Amino acid sequence: MKQFKLLYLASEVSPFAVAGGLADVTSALPKALKNLNQEVRLMIPKYKFINERKYVLREVIRLREIPVTVNNETAVASVKSAFLPDSKVQVYFIEVGDYFNRPGIYKDPKTNKPYPDNAIRFAFFCKAAIETLKKLSWQPDIIHCNDWQTAFVPVYLKTIYQGDPFFKGIKTIYTIHNLTTQGDFDVNIAEKIDFDKSQVKEGGLFYKDGKLNLTKAAIYFSDFITTVSETYANEILTDDEVGFGFGPILEEKEDKFEGIMNGIDYGIWSPEKDKYIPFHYSKEDLTNKEENKKALLMRLGMSYEPGVPVMGMISKLTRQKGFDLVLDIMEDLLKENLKLIIHGDGDRDLAEKFLQFASKFPDKLSVSITYDEKMAHLIEAGSDMFLMPSRYEPCGLNQIYSMRYGTIPIVSAVGGLFDSVDDIDEETGEGTGFIIEELTPKALLKAIKRALKYYKNKDKWTELQKRIMEEDFSWDISAKRYVDIYDRLINETEF
């Protein structure tokens, strides 16, 4: 396999800065690329909360005090470096002015509102990343960007830096992790982020639905676009609701657009060696899974009752993730012989409603409105089933983690969920999870009841657990597909 120089850019990378599934992918894919002998380096913002000691961040003398100018405002960037834990992937942490010296990644934790200058913050991050490359004298073959926070890079390279010989020939690839957040801002922001304001009106390259749209900008300016599963790629091309009207825009680039299923990092997500769970287990012996269940329930102040299944949900509490549907069937669910555990940040009004139910039925429902990595692992290990009734799901990772932990997924038939879970046939026992046939409360309840019924047959359930634990979604295959794309791009004749 050919070797390339790759710069991987993201606003979140696990374990340094995590808000969602994006962070898992941006740490796992670079590691997988490194294993394929690629020269890959990462750049992320240096958020205030990143623990410099714990992760051994070091100053890089020649990357101190780099002036970065966006719209006539100059901020000073300084770059530190460390390695992704358990790997040789180098990570540069970019500090620029005071833009990331704050407690949240995107939102102010106090108000739960996005920082009003988010577009400017990430414009500075991207400019600083570009300037850092020059200071480093490191010319990557490919810059791989992820989500709107990095969308400025393809745009700047083809506008501001167009004539700069240092960047000549560098190709950009842009991965859409979820179109729910597109980076849409008031049109007046254009000048403040060095975008051509004549393109922010009807018909303009950056203009969509009355706003300046960074995802649209990235789609036009990148050399290749990917998203995180094949089905989601199809859905956003063809379904206006899932694709937020991006279908026609992506269609223009159809030969430069592909869906590649995310893999997962079994170094972190395996019940045999998970460093966050109290009891390790494997498909050969599942006894300890039950011990994790006890530990989980105890941690949450719930009683352990043999034979009563636990259903986990780790997700942002939003409509996109189907939480409104869960609310619709809450009363029915509380009548079932079942304990439900919900863990994740999200919409306050949805959260409130779940919290109310939980206060009335504390031994049947646990709701924690926060995200805690350790708790996420314990829920995967200690639950019997895992629920994801998403309206759309670009890839979804928890259904795949669940399979490795012998925790049976119950999922809707969309995006990456559809690509990774096969419906169980009660007769033959084939399949890997329970599919919610349509996005209605009734169908949701039906799927959960099917799972509860299946659970009663201990032998069949154990056989199913053992089988799904064998499913392999490691990154090897998907990382190779990315390398193929890099290869194609590099060998393309220049425009």
- Which stretches of the chain bind ligand GLC, using CB under 6 A? 20-22, 25, 177-178, 228, 262, 393-397, 416
Task: Take residue 35 and report the two structure tokens written for it.
Answer: 């294993």
Report, in Å, the least distance between residue 287 CB and ligand GLC: 31
Contact at 8 Å (CB) between 121 and 11? no
Cβ distance to ligand GLC smaller for residue 25 or 75: 25
Cβ neighbours for 105, distance < 8 A, ≥ 6 positions apart: 11, 12, 17, 19, 47
Alpha carbon distance 194, 176 (integer Å):
23
Q: Which of 191/472 has CB closer to ligand GLC?
A: 472
Residue 23: CB minimum distance to ligand GLC, A: 8
Shortest distance in whole angstroms from residue 62 CB to ligand GLC: 34
Which C-beta is closer to ligand GLC: that of 200 or that of 417? 417
Q: Could you tell me if 79 and 66 are in contact, meaning their C-beta atoms sit under 8 angstroms apart?
A: yes
Sequential DSSP letters for 133-188: HHHHT---SEEEEESGGGTHHHHHHHTTTTT-GGGTT-EEEEEES-TT---EE-TT
Comparison of 326 and 397: residue with beta carbon closer to ligand GLC:
397
Give 100's Cβ-side CA count (13 Å radius): 27
Please, which residues have CB within 8 angstroms of residue 194's CB and are 6 or more apart in sequence?
A: 70, 71, 123, 127, 156, 159, 160
Cβ proximity to ligand GLC, 367 vs 414, nearer residue: 414
**Distance of closest approach, residue 181 Cβ to ligand GLC, in angstroms:** 9
Q: CB of 196 within 8 A of CB of 159? A: yes
Least distance CB 278 / ligand GLC (angstroms): 27
**Using CA atoms, how far apart are residues 485 and 487, in angstroms rounded to an integer?**
5
Residue 402 structure tokens: 């669940």
Looking at the Cβ atoms of 296 and 388, the one nearer to ligand GLC is 388
CB of 435 to ligand GLC, least distance (A): 17
Q: Which is nearer to ligand GLC, 392 or 455 (CB)?
A: 392
CA torsion through residues 487, 488, 494, 495, sign: negative
Q: Which residues pair with 228 in a beta bridge?
A: none
Q: How far is the CB of 443 from ligand GLC (least distance, A)?
A: 21
In the bound state with ligand GLC, the residue whose beta carbon lies nearer, of 130 and 395, is 395
The least distance separating ligand GLC from the CB of residue 68, rounded to whole angstroms, comes to 28
State which residue, 30 or 309, has the beta carbon closest to ligand GLC: 30
Point out the residue whose Cβ comes nearest to ligand GLC. 21
Neighbours of 430 (CB within 10 A): 12
Q: How far is the CB of 340 from ligand GLC (least distance, A)?
A: 21
Our CB check for ligand GLC shows the closer of 215 and 292 to be 215
Q: How far is the CB of 227 from ligand GLC (least distance, A)?
A: 8
Q: What are phi and psi of 277, to 5 degrees?
A: -105, 145
> In whole angstroms, how close is the CB of 26 to ligand GLC at the nearest point?
8
CA 327-332-337 angle, 5° bins: 115
Q: What are phi and psi of 224, to 5 degrees?
A: -155, 145
Residue 433 and residue 423 in contact, taking contact as beta carbons nearer than 8 Å: yes
Q: How far apart are CB 314 and ligand GLC at their closest, in Å? A: 12
Quote the tokens at residue 99.
């833009």
**For ligand GLC, the closer CB: 136 or 413:** 413
CB neighbour burial string for 449-460, b if at least 16 within 10 angstroms, e if fewer: ebbbebbeeeee
Give the DSSP H or E segment for 401: helix 398-404
Closest to ligand GLC by CB, 57 vs 264, is 264
